[in-house]
């Protein structure tokens, strides 16, 4: 940071510098710099394209970079290759990088098949024409899936785009022994839930464990109250911004939530979901609304076996039919759509055989295809699987169903503000939603 360094770009040209030469150099530089992406696009397109037409091999882009899922996908591709003699080249990219670069990835030279999520995150790219429809694949595997799964795999144009691999439900998790001690009963209505919470509070517990330092966990509560109050379809229309945020139905969600706020952990804004999971494990809190991944935090087997859950109680409409259960699975890039081998690979993922190969290595998630092996499931996992299988509608999660910019930049601060003082400005939410969705 010496002053001299800062000054240099502003110093007048030295006598030795021919201004015209400089400009010429710059011009050439700029042209060649501009040419790089074009060239890259050319080579990128022709390379894998050649193998794509051969149909005896495919490339597979995976964002599952953690050890267990990475090995699990390896098992899937191995099983596929053993069965079909089609070779699969897997490119593993670190999880967050994969997500952050998905736009450029799909526009550049993507792999034939790749890991992604259901919901708006899939529909958005399908709508932009960056994915290949796979209705023919679904003709083969359709019978393996529930209606809710099929709905979650359908693009905005009604065509099929997605093959679900696994998912996990959200619900209220609790410790059976604590509840048995205190004589608590599973609530099935919202009133029963608040009554129970009140009782827990008088027993000296934090009734509903809650953490929102990272911003996203609170979306689960919002999603459920909205679905139970206004129905699944309204929730989906709202997240897709087909419904306005500035209406009574939305402010009703927050008014209903207000009844729960006094029972949720008041320290939520400084805690991560892992911090909250510790409290649940220590029996400091009565219950915890989160995804079933919360069980990853209980490494002690006795504690893990003591965990159970119940679905979010009914409030006004549709009972408990809608379940929040984010689905992960596979998509075909536009280029991959021309490769029959890639279609075969996706079809394989949609069979019990393919899903068993995955689940054998990564048992923390729940296979989505009917007929997948459930004999090794723990009672809790079985219950998770049943809850999803019986669901009439499956929502993903706010940040997967809504425009990501809306989820990250608008909802996270808004929900944190609501948790802080119980106020929300739905007019402002609508104004922001309008600006953000308009940019898409």
Partner 1 sequence: MSTPTELSDSAAPGSRAGRNTPGGRTKPKGVKRLSKRDKVVLGFMVGIPTLVQLAFVWIPTVLSVLLSFTRWNGLALSDIRAAGLANYSYVFNDSPAFWPAVQHNILWLVFLAVIATPLGLLLAVLLDQQIRGSKIYQSIFFVPVMLSLALVGIIWQLFYQKDNGLLNFLLGTAGTPAAVDWFGNSSVNIWAALVAATWRHAGYVMILYLAGLKGVDASLKEAASLDGANATQTFFRIVFPAMAPINIVIVVITIIESLRAFDVVWVINKGTNGLELISALVISYLIGEGQSIGIGSAFAVILLVISLVPITIYLSRTFRKEKF
Residues that bind partner 1 (CB under 8 A): 1-3, 6-10, 13-18, 21-22, 25-26, 29-30, 33, 99-100, 102-103, 107, 121, 128, 130, 213-215, 267-271, 275, 404-405, 407-409, 412-414, 416-417, 420, 425, 428, 431-432, 435-436, 438-440
Closer to partner 1 by Cβ: residue 201 or 360: 201
Helices (H), 9-84: 19-54, 67-84
Closer to partner 1 by Cβ: residue 266 or 371: 266
Closer to partner 1 by Cβ: residue 15 or 158: 15
Closer to partner 1 by Cβ: residue 344 or 399: 399
Smallest gap from Cβ 127 to partner 1, in A, equals: 11
Smallest gap from Cβ 405 to partner 1, in A, equals: 4
Instruction: Fill in the DSSP letter of residue 313.
Output: P
Q: Characterize 159-191 residue by residue with b for buried, 16 or more Cβ atoms within 10 angstroms of its Cβ, and e for exposed.
A: ebbbbbbbbbbbbbbbbeebbeeeebebbeebe
How far is Cα 119 from Cα 175, in angstroms, rounded to an integer? 32
How far is Cα 341 from Cα 84, in angstroms, rounded to an integer? 9
3-state secondary structure of 416: helix
Name the E strands within 311-367: 322-324, 327-332, 366-367
Smallest gap from Cβ 21 to partner 1, in A, equals: 6
Q: Phi and psi at residue 196, in whole multiples of 5°?
A: -60, -45
Read off the tokens for 235: 């929730």
DSSP H or E segment with residue 219: helix 217-230
Closer to partner 1 by Cβ: residue 378 or 440: 440
How far is Cα 249 from Cα 46, in angstroms, rounded to an integer? 52
DSSP H or E segment with residue 393: strand 393-395
Smallest gap from Cβ 16 to partner 1, in A, equals: 4
Closer to partner 1 by Cβ: residue 116 or 348: 116
Smallest gap from Cβ 280 to partner 1, in A, equals: 14
DSSP H or E segment with residue 208: strand 206-209
Read off the tokens for 194: 């608040």
Smallest gap from Cβ 110 to partner 1, in A, equals: 13
Smallest gap from Cβ 98 to partner 1, in A, equals: 10
Closer to partner 1 by Cβ: residue 213 or 249: 213
Smallest gap from Cβ 52 to partner 1, in A, equals: 22
- For helices 352-361 and 340-349, the axis angle rounded to 10 degrees is 70
Closer to partner 1 by Cβ: residue 369 or 407: 407
Cα torsion angle, 157, 161, 164, 170, sign: negative
3-state secondary structure of 330: strand
Smallest gap from Cβ 33 to partner 1, in A, equals: 6
Closer to partner 1 by Cβ: residue 376 or 440: 440
3-state secondary structure of 160: strand
Cα torsion angle, 382, 383, 387, 390, sign: positive
């Amino acid at each position: 940071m010496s002053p001299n360094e800062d000054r240099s770009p502003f110093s007048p040209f030295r006598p030795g510098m021919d201004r015209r030469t400089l400009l010429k150099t710059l011009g050439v530089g700029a042209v060649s710099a501009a040419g790089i992406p074009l060239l890259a696009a050319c080579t990128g397109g022709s390379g894998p394209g050649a193998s794509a037409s051969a149909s005896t091999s495919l490339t597979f882009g995976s964002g599952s970079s953690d050890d267990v899922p990475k090995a699990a996908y390896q098992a899937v591709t191995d099983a596929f290759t053993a069965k079909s003699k089609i070779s699969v080249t897997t490119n593993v990219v670190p999880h967050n990088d994969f997500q952050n670069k998905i736009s450029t990835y799909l526009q550049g030279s993507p792999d034939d098949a790749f890991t992604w999520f259901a919901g708006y995150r899939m529909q958005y790219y399908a709508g932009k024409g960056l994915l290949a429809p796979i209705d023919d694949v679904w003709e083969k595997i359709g019978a393996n899936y529930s209606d809710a799964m099929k709905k979650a795999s359908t693009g905005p144009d009604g065509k099929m785009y997605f093959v679900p691999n696994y998912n996990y439900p959200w619900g209220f998790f609790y410790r059976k022994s604590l509840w048995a001690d205190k004589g608590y009963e599973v609530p099935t209505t919202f009133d029963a839930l608040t009554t129970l919470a009140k009782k827990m509070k008088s027993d000296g517990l934090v009734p509903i464990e809650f953490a929102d330092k990272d911003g996203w966990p609170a979306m689960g509560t919002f999603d459920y109250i909205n679905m139970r109050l206004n129905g699944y379809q309204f929730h989906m229309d709202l997240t897709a911004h087909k419904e306005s945020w500035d209406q009574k139905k939305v402010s009703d969600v927050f008014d209903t939530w207000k009844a729960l706020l006094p029972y949720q952990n008041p320290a939520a804004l400084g805690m991560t979901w892992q911090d909250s999971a510790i409290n649940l494990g220590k029996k400091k809190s009565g219950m915890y609304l989160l995804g079933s991944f919360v069980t990853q935090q209980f490494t002690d087997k006795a504690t893990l076996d003591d965990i159970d859950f119940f679905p979010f109680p009914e409030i006004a409409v549709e009972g408990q039919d809608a379940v929040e259960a984010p689905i992960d699975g596979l998509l075909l890039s536009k280029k991959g759509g021309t490769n029959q081998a890639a279609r075969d690979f996706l079809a394989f993922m949609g069979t019990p055989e393919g899903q068993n190969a995955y689940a054998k290595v990564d048992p923390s998630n729940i296979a989505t295809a009917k007929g997948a092996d459930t004999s090794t499931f723990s009672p809790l996992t079985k219950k998770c699987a049943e809850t999803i299988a019986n669901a009439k509608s499956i929502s993903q999660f706010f940040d997967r169903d809504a425009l990501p910019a809306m989820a990250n930049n608008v909802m996270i601060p808004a929900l944190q503000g609501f948790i802080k003082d119980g106020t929300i400005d739905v007019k402002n939410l609508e104004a922001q939603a309008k600006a953000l969705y308009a940019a898409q």
